[in-house]
Amino acid sequence: MNWETVKLDANENFFIPRVFLSSLVKEVADEVDLRLYPSDRLYTLLIREISSFLNVPSESIIIGNGSDDLIALLVKTLARRGIIITNPTFRIYKWAAKVFNVKIYESILATSFDINVNDVLRFNDAADLCFVCSPNNPTGNQFRIDDLEKLIGEFNGIVVIDEAYVDFADYSAINLLGKYDNLIIARTFSKGFGLASFRLGFLVTSYELADKLRFSIPPFNVNTVSVLMGVKMIRNKSIVEEAIKKLKIERERLINALSIINGIKPFNSKTNFILFKTEMNANYIYNYLYRNKVFVRRFDEPPLNKHYLRVTVGTPDMNDIFIDVLKRAISHENI
């Protein structure tokens, strides 16, 4: 691995200490017989841990091999006619719909990146599954809870709220689960908990939907090490909370640093990344950063393809390098 690169393109969490994770993996390796298949008892242990952490019934939880995998499962199992997405958003929903040959209906976010619920509801009769990413990747904002509730209440099909970034945000829609049985909350251990390499995600929903989904999952779908890492991370949640606190402080510092660069406009963020608008061509800046081993995310579709980039909130050192190279990219073009 080349440690000289500054990898800020995939919203990984660099605030969870690396040594802490390796010490937990070593504990896991000593505690279990890695030659064996994962057991039901093991899955129950993680589900119970999530249940008490989030205060939701165990029967409503489905664990999976990362939330990407669970998103594919949702489309495969629940979408017959079509899915709705609110663009710009996380690209996996569209990918899954293409794989399973399901129609895609797109509602465009307002210029403030707010969701337009009435516009989404235009597709009420055409689609049976609606994906809402809140906080939204890549815009970074969290949709208003009353907008989400209106959508869940008025949509005839099932609404999936992807809360991958909720640990960095202000609230969760999980409390609406008791009120609506057409709601699915998707979560991951990849972001707040920093376990991206382990591929661990879960869904929380009504008993009826959970039963239906459980039926479609093969046995042993999540590996033993990941399950136990999930358990240990929840048991060590104070370390996670501390890391998130530091990340949020750094997020504000990075937004401020970006906002004082001429020709750059960062957007507020409730996530561990920041979307920013560039007066210059975004591809030029992306390539300049790339040549200097700073990786950020660019977009290949309108409306973000020409003048927007997304950067992960890295450690202060990583962000300093990013800001420095970004400034150089901008001054070079001006010469």
Ligand X SMILES: Cc1ncc(COP(=O)(O)O)c(C=O)c1O
Site residues (CB under 6 A) for ligand X?
11, 66-68, 90, 133, 137, 162, 164, 188, 190, 196, 201
Q: Between residues 142 and 329, which has the closer beta carbon with respect to ligand X?
A: 142
Residues 97 and 136: beta-carbon distance below 8 Å = no
Edge-first strand order for the sheet with 264-266 is: 264-266, 273-278, 308-312
Smallest gap from Cβ 162 to ligand X, in A, equals 5
Q: Between residues 64 and 157, which has the closer beta carbon with respect to ligand X?
A: 64
Smallest gap from Cβ 59 to ligand X, in A, equals 22
Smallest gap from Cβ 312 to ligand X, in A, equals 10
Smallest gap from Cβ 142 to ligand X, in A, equals 12
Q: Which residues pair with 202 in a beta bridge?
A: 63, 187
Give the list of residues 6+ apart from residue 95 with CB closer than 8 angstroms, or none.
Answer: none
* Cα 235 to the center of its chain, rounded Å: 22
- Residue 292: HSE in the Cβ half-sphere, 13 Å Cα cutoff: 18
Q: Between residues 313 and 330, which has the closer beta carbon with respect to ligand X?
A: 313
Q: Between residues 136 and 278, which has the closer beta carbon with respect to ligand X?
A: 136
Smallest gap from Cβ 191 to ligand X, in A, equals 7
H or E, element range at 264: strand 264-266
Give the list of residues 6+ apart from residue 278 with CB closer than 8 angstroms, or none.
Answer: 263, 264, 285, 307, 308, 309
* Cα 98 to the center of its chain, rounded Å: 20
Smallest gap from Cβ 270 to ligand X, in A, equals 12
66: left (phi over 0), alpha (psi -120 to 50) or beta: left
H or E, element range at 96: helix 92-99
Q: Between residues 166 and 329, which has the closer beta carbon with respect to ligand X?
A: 166
DSSP string, 286-305: HHHHHHTTEE-B--SSTTTT
And the tokens for 212? Answer: 């239906």
In 3D space, the residue among 224, 225, 168, 162 whose CA is nearest the CA of residue 193 turns out to be: 168
Q: Tell the burial category of 291 from Cβ atoms under 10 Å away from its Cβ (0-12, 13-18, 19+).
A: exposed
Instruction: Give the Cα separation of 79 and 129 in Å (integer).
Output: 6
Instruction: Give the Cα separation of 326 and 309 in Å (integer).
Output: 11
Smallest gap from Cβ 17 to ligand X, in A, equals 20
Smallest gap from Cβ 228 to ligand X, in A, equals 17
Q: Between residues 201 and 230, which has the closer beta carbon with respect to ligand X?
A: 201
Q: Between residues 133 and 323, which has the closer beta carbon with respect to ligand X?
A: 133
Q: Between residues 173 and 329, which has the closer beta carbon with respect to ligand X?
A: 173
In 3D space, the residue among 38, 57, 33 whose CA is nearest the CA of residue 47 turns out to be: 57
